[in-house]
Amino acid sequence: MPRLAPSIEPFRNEPVRTFADGASRAGMMAALSRAHGTFGLTYPLVIGGERITGPGTIPSLNPAQPAEIVGDVVAATPQDVHDALDVATEAFASWSRTPVTERAGLLFRAAAEVRKRKDWFNALMIYEVGKTWVEADADTAEAIDFLEFYGREALRLAEPAPLVPSPYPEDNFLRYLPLGVGAIIPPWNFALAIMAGMTAAAIVTGNTVVLKPSPDAAVTAAHFVDLLLELGLPAGVVNYLPGDALTVGETLVADRRTRFVSFTGSKAVGLRINEVAAATAPGQRWIKRVIAEMGGKDAIVVADDADLEAAAAGVVASAFGFAGQKCSACSRAIVDAAVYDRFLEEVVRRTRALRVGDPQDPAVDVGPVINARAFERIFDYLESGRAEGRLLTGGGPAPGDGYFVEPTIIADVDPAARIAQEEIFGPVLAVIRVAGFDDALAIANGTEFGLTGAVYTRDPARIEQALAEFFVGNLYINRKCTGALVGVHPFGGFNMSGTDSKAGGPDYLLQFLQAKSIAVARLGITCG
């Protein structure tokens, strides 16, 4: 691979389009037509650069039209896991010694190619995971950001680290070394961005990986892996193994050859991964590292001096964007009693104006939830919610053949209620009345999670109090609690929201590296 040019432009976030102009709308419509023409294709495993078929496949369905199969992905077997770990281990020997300029250069070329194929990746996600046009474009833009940002971060970490001068006649260095072979287990909800970001962070730091995508987003992942191979990624550096959680996921995590696990998903699965990874397999020579982001029960606090129109707009965008299927989504609005009724009126008005439907239509605001199991689980929560509060709007299925749920608001919810404590992962908002700001922060902190949160207030003293006391990894003041930008809002939470790693931040790549401290006595030997 060609070496990277010595001069690199400063990182800038990729802009997200609104599709207001005719040309961008026409391009997106054409991409949707092309993507629809690929429905029903079978996507093989990729092990050591070879495409492998097998006896079983997993269908990836269009959640807006579940009768449509976006693609069938080959289901990996335990033997495939064994083979993939073998080739990843072999590839690590050379990839870990590949100059960082070449590894970063691969990411920069991948970013450029994804940028050229924006509409294509958008179309895949509109069909495969039900994203609206703007949500899909934001996902693709974030994938580009991760590739660009982590390439630059790898180059930065390869520079000599500043150390205190030694009192001895010696030269001292700190170098970062890759860990080894990793399991990459991304979610479906950011089908391109998180999957690409987790993969890119691991390989740009010199590791090799086995990528187990979510079955609900495995077609998008297959196209990304194909893109990397087109660009010259050496065989075995990224191995693509769709499959179920037990056959592929747990086998990968438990194997002694796995050095680290990078996971984004539910709390239950994340805790199981942590438990399995903590067990030491015979012949294992390391403590496995787990990097996990596990969701939240995110709250927006609306104080008595808040701009209510801005607060209502922020809550609606945070709660119902992508049908509430972001780990950062607002699922609790905690509102001061003095403005409670006025806030409810405004937030209900805005919610009822949202258009629910097939996201192929650019006019749709809220698409489907991901699959039948999620659809049923959300309605189980709604049944509880009817008993735990006052239903203001929504609460039922929206028209259409897909997994459509009406954006739902339930008011007068007790802070200890099920719908105020458990992550629902759907378009359901619980509204809680509070007596004052201290009470609001106590309730906001009153779950096992700590991912994102927001506060609407004009009072500088309250803002300072929130900065000190609102225990979340990402806190936003007078704006929505979703939409973190790479490099701008390093993302990751506390408590049961994860392992405190910050995706898109200056310390994230350190999760995939180990430090080696070197001291060289001055005997006329030159080291660098």
The residues assigned a catalytic role are: 293, 327
Q: Which of these, 351, 303, 306, lies nearest to 324 by C-alpha position?
A: 351
Q: Which of these, 99, 498, 478, 512, lies nearest to 302 by C-alpha position?
A: 478
Q: Helices 193-204 and 133-158: crossing angle, nearest 10°?
A: 10
Beta bridge partners of 409: 393, 429
Cα Rg for the chain, rounded, in angstroms? 24
The DSSP code for 366 is: B
Are residues 516 and 175 in contact, defined by beta-carbon separation less than 8 angstroms? yes
The rounded distance, in Å, linking the Cα atoms of 265 and 186 is 7
Q: Phi and psi at residue 279, in whole multiples of 5°?
A: -75, 135
Are residues 129 and 482 in contact, defined by beta-carbon separation less than 8 angstroms? no
Q: What is the 3-state secondary structure (H, E, C) of 417-448?
A: CHHHHCCCCCCEEEEEEECCHHHHHHHHCCCC
Structure tokens at 409: 């608001």
Q: What is the dihedral of CA 99, 102, 103, 105, to 10 degrees?
A: 150
Parallel, antiparallel, or unpaired for β 170-178 and 513-521?
A: antiparallel
Q: Phi and psi at residue 416, in whole multiples of 5°?
A: -90, 0
**Cβ count near 237 (within 10 Å):** 26
The DSSP code for 188 is: S
Burial (CB count <10 Å: 0-12, 13-18, 19+), residue 290: buried
Parallel, antiparallel, or unpaired for β 298-302 and 452-456?
A: parallel
Query: Residue for token digits 């297959």?
Result: 222
The rounded distance, in Å, linking the Cα atoms of 492 and 508 is 10
Amino acid at 521: A
Structure tokens at 222: 């297959």
